[in-house]
């Protein structure tokens, strides 16, 4: 009974986290009208809710927490609840580290290799497009063979970081999106908003992995494929927009 209660709690937590992000986007006009103490100075550090909604939706489509459910369930099959919680924390922490590094030093890394932003947009668009096409052709993941003892534990820990966290969840598409957002940021609130989006996505990934088993049971193989292919179509559209923006920046005299 306790296991069933925990399972229901994790599923509700995952759905509540997603609903909270939607509620924040819906409440944007109301929050934007509130007056803040201390004058206009503090307004530049307030989250831009319009930007939050657009960026969160883009990262959600690119990172797609649901796509990690089959792999997480497979690599934690037969494990205790405590081990699953630990691996969920490891995966979420790795995703946060990758996105934080991209936000803090991504632009400097591009400058170090003399890579222009338009070129990076085009490359990012191609990568995201390939991800979308792969998701459109996705099939249900087959269970993996399991090892035993310490080797099995080490294998699961490594899989939580690679390939689950990198590049499945925090892949080139997500990294490119974060770097391009930082490059286009001109206000302090842009950086505050990006930080809020990253934290929100990491929290959603953690909640999804905590509820991976009930989610997999609820959706089933067919449901997971439907969700994956739907998000793949959205990814393809986002990729085209990124590539077009890069082409306009690289060839302004033509486009």
More confident residue, 77 or 52: 52
CA-CA distance, 239 to 127, in Å (whole number)? 8
- 47 pLDDT band, cuts 50/70/90, is confident
pLDDT in tens, 84-105: 888 999 999 999 999 999 999 8
Please give the pLDDT value at position 207: 94
- Name the most confidently modeled range: 65-79, 138-152, 173-187: 173-187
Please give the pLDDT value at position 113: 86
Place of tokens 């959706």: 219
**Could you give the angle at which helices 172-184 and 117-136 cross, rounded to 10 degrees?**
150
Cβ atoms 55, 197 nearer than 8 A: yes
In the chain, pLDDT over 70 holds for what percent of residues?
75
pTM: 0.66
In order of 22, 42, 112, 118, 195, the CA distances from 45 in angstroms are 21, 5, 29, 28, 11
Please give the pLDDT value at position 3: 46
Structure tokens at 141: 């993941």
CB atoms within 10 A of CB 107: 17
């Amino acid at each position: 009974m306790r296991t069933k209660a925990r399972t229901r709690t994790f599923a509700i937590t995952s759905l509540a986290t997603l609903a909270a992000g939607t509620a924040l986007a819906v409440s944007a006009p109301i929050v934007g009208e509130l007056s803040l103490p201390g004058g206009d100075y503090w307004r530049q550090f307030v989250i831009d809710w319009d930007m939050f909604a657009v960026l969160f939706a883009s990262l959600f489509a690119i990172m797609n927490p649901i796509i990690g459910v089959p792999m997480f369930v497979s690599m934690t099959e037969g494990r205790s609840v405590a081990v699953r919680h630990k691996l969920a924390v490891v995966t979420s922490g790795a995703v946060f580290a990758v996105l934080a590094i991209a936000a803090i030093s991504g632009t400097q890394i591009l400058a170090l290799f003399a890579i222009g932003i338009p070129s990076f947009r085009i490359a990012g668009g191609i990568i995201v497009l390939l991800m979308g096409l792969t998701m459109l052709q996705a099939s249900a993941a087959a269970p993996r063979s399991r090892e035993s003892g310490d080797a099995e534990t080490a294998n699961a820990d490594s899989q939580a970081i690679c390939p689950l966290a990198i590049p499945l969840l925090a892949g080139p598409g997500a990294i490119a999106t974060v770097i391009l957002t930082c490059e286009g940021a001109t206000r302090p609130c842009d950086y505050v908003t990006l930080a809020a989006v990253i934290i929100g996505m990491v929290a959603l990934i953690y909640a999804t992995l905590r509820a991976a088993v009930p989610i997999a049971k609820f959706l089933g193989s067919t449901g997971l494929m439907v969700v994956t292919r739907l998000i793949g179509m959205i990814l393809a559209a986002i990729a085209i927009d990124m590539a077009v923006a890069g082409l306009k920046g690289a060839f302004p005299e033509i486009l």
